[in-house]
Amino acid sequence: MGQDQRLETIHAEWGRRWSGGAGQVFTLLLGLHQANWGIWLVASEGSPLLKKALQKGLKGYGFHLKSEFGLPTWLSLRRWMGVTCREAMTRGKKILVHIHSRRGLLGTTLVAKSLRLPLVVHWRVAAPFPRLIARLTDAFIGISQASLQAGINAGIPSEKVFLIPSAIRVDDWLPSPGIRDPLRASMGIPPDAFVFISTGRLAPGKGHDVALRALAEIPPRTKPFLLIVGTGETEEQLRSLAQTLKVDQFVRFIPFQDDIRPYLWAADAFVHAPDRFPEGLSVAILEAMAAGLPVIASRKGGIVDAVVDGKTGFLATPGDPQDLADKMAVLSSDPEIAITIGKAAKVFVEQHHNVEGMIGKVAQVYQKALSHCQLARGG
């Protein structure tokens, strides 16, 4: 894994909810820890990521981040980081800071640079990257071509930009026998029905409304079921829309699940239709593919890196319910095609989104970031 025994890393992830990005950070931290890297996690007090990290015996520290400009938080972080650096120096170690979230990006960057620490930023969305941060970044990691381009557009030199796709352990997602039919029965879904599933936070721009409108376009005789798994601010609007479109009898709203796997195993295909959200590369898509499901998703952002049209799934026009409905009908009308594409999706994830490969590449980026930082200092 190219470990530098002199290097220890501080990881900052300020999200308050569990998310696909938080899961990726957790996977990376566990991998680095198991490879004997010295690591710390700084996070929002009480966040699910911090709790999981502490339960696994990782070193983690919670800070009360009220806002991006919460000066007391950043002063506390600087004091803690300064002490940590001094202690590391007495052990002959170097410290590198790795930022994983948009939340807290500016404050964490300024703290790290005030201590002259090497800085790696992991960009998990396809949104524009701040030019101020770009000038201070020693290495930029994009999880997809769209995320990578955000760094390039912000002016980060090509030698500091690295593509490292999100990763998943496929073996953890292999279907467990005896779950599919009982879970379907508990939801009032026939064992032979075709079922789509959509997972993730229910929020504006995530496209759950587009999926409902697409479902309404499919004739009743061949209409599939749709599981919407997650919670969020648009839930009541979506429930109301399902009733208005007269598809509520085909839709099941399931609250957020700590373990989404049984619901993926109960489904036949995955649908993800964001129309405005700047997708870097949805971890939910990788999870579905690892579970052997074909994916129908918007042709948007980093989604196109994983959903290869006609091979691992189908790409639909963002915000176009009819196009999405047409793609859904291709799979629901021919389950054998869905099975074939689902198998190809699983193989694709195994080959291109391997956890050990991701961790090894991140370790290599750390060495590059150290070199860039030393050159910038004239050392």
Q: Are residues 96 and 39 in the same domain?
A: yes
pLDDT tens track for 171-200: 999 999 999 999 999 999 999 999 999 999
The region of weakest confidence among 88-92, 152-156, 259-263, 322-326 is 88-92
pLDDT tens track for 310-328: 999 999 999 999 999 999 9
Q: Are residues 204 and 99 in the same domain?
A: no
Task: Judge whether 20 lies within some domain.
Answer: yes
Q: Are residues 265 and 215 in the same domain?
A: yes
Percent of the chain scoring above 70 in pLDDT: 97
Task: Judge whether 217 lies within some domain.
Answer: yes
Task: Judge whether 1 lies within some domain.
Answer: no
Q: Are residues 246 and 334 in the same domain?
A: yes
Q: Please count the structural domains in the chain.
A: 2
> Would you say residue 4 has pLDDT above 70?
no
Q: Are residues 203 and 225 in the same domain?
A: yes
pLDDT of residue 49: 97
pLDDT of residue 349: 97
Q: Are residues 105 and 74 in the same domain?
A: yes
Q: Are residues 188 and 142 in the same domain?
A: no
pLDDT of residue 278: 78
Q: Are residues 146 and 221 in the same domain?
A: no
pLDDT tens track for 42-68: 999 999 999 999 999 999 999 999 888
Task: Judge whether 2 lies within some domain.
Answer: no
Q: Are residues 60 and 131 in the same domain?
A: yes
Taking the whole predicted model, whether its pTM rises above 0.85 is answered as yes
- CATH number of the CATH domain containing 275: 3.40.50.2000
Q: Are residues 233 and 125 in the same domain?
A: no
> Would you say residue 3 has pLDDT above 80?
no
Task: Judge whether 325 lies within some domain.
Answer: yes
Selection from 202, 205, 166, 197 nearest residue 294 by Cα: 197
Q: Are residues 101 and 187 in the same domain?
A: no
Task: Judge whether 254 lies within some domain.
Answer: yes
Q: Are residues 52 and 182 in the same domain?
A: no
**Structural domain boundaries, residue 196:** 170-352
Task: Judge whether 347 lies within some domain.
Answer: yes
